[in-house]
Amino acid sequence: MQIAVLASGTGTILAALINAKLPIAEVVVDRHCGAEKIAEHANVPVKCIERRDFSPSFDRANYTRKLLEYLEASSVDVIVLAGFGTVLGPEMSDRFAGRILNTHPALLPAYKGWHAVRDALADGASVTGCTVHLVTAEVDEGPILAQEAVPVFPDDTEEILHERIKEVERRLYPATIWAFLDEATKKGGTT
């Protein structure tokens, strides 16, 4: 089974996936970012399908269609999100139902959305963590595949806590993806 990794950021999660020797066929980014360099350094093909509009009028459906057309032509089996900063339209989760994985910096269902670490700190949480889940049309609502708790310390800043969560993500996410691929292979390539 071949994986396409969708990324937008520095590439630390992508690097962990590459280091875990997952079968990554390609990386797709929605903006020029550090993940491109990580992919290039590892000799993994990388494609930028650039998102130029970050306004409230962003045409999510059109961007999703462009990305979906590219991925379908690439013949990948599984999509792995690694800090991908664009929420995609439901057409993506429909087409790749049960085959898109994401990691989220909180113990879902708590603290959904883009500011999970900030929200956990603002709420005074004593524990947060990392969740690996399947992607559905509803953001951060898909079936949970794995979770691991991370303590919140009184002197944590958003950056410090997020880095401690990323340390867990860089270990938990690749292991969960391998388990997912193994299970899919046992079922004959379907999930």
Please, which pLDDT band fits residue 189 given cuts at 50, 70 and 90? low
Which pLDDT value is given to residue 185? 85
**Mean pLDDT on 176-191:** 84
User: Is the separation of the CB atoms in 131 and 110 below 8 Å?
Assistant: no
Cα distance between residue 10 and residue 144, in whole Å: 25
Instruction: Domains for the chain: give ranges and CATH numbers.
Output: 3-186 (3.40.50.170)
| Overall size of the chain counted in residues | 191
Q: What is the pairing mode between strands 100-104 and 127-134?
A: antiparallel
Give the angle 115-118-121 at the CA atoms, nearest 5°. 145
What percent of the chain has a predicted confidence (pLDDT) above 90?
93
Over residues 12-45, the pLDDT tens digits come to: 999 999 999 999 999 999 999 999 999 999 999 9
> Any idea which residues carry the catalytic annotation?
104
Whether the predicted pLDDT of 75 surpasses 90: no
Among 126, 93, 123, which Cα is nearest to 111's? 123
User: What's the mean per-residue pLDDT of the chain?
Assistant: 95
Whether the predicted pLDDT of 59 surpasses 90: yes
User: Is the separation of the CB atoms in 12 and 170 below 8 Å?
Assistant: yes
**Mean pLDDT on 80-100:** 94
**Mean pLDDT on 107-126:** 96
Cα distance between residue 34 and residue 152, in whole Å: 28
Whether the predicted pLDDT of 188 surpasses 80: no
Which pLDDT value is given to residue 191? 47
Which pLDDT value is given to residue 46? 97
Cα distance between residue 42 and residue 181, in whole Å: 21
Which pLDDT value is given to residue 40? 96
| Residue keyed to tokens 């690097």 | 15
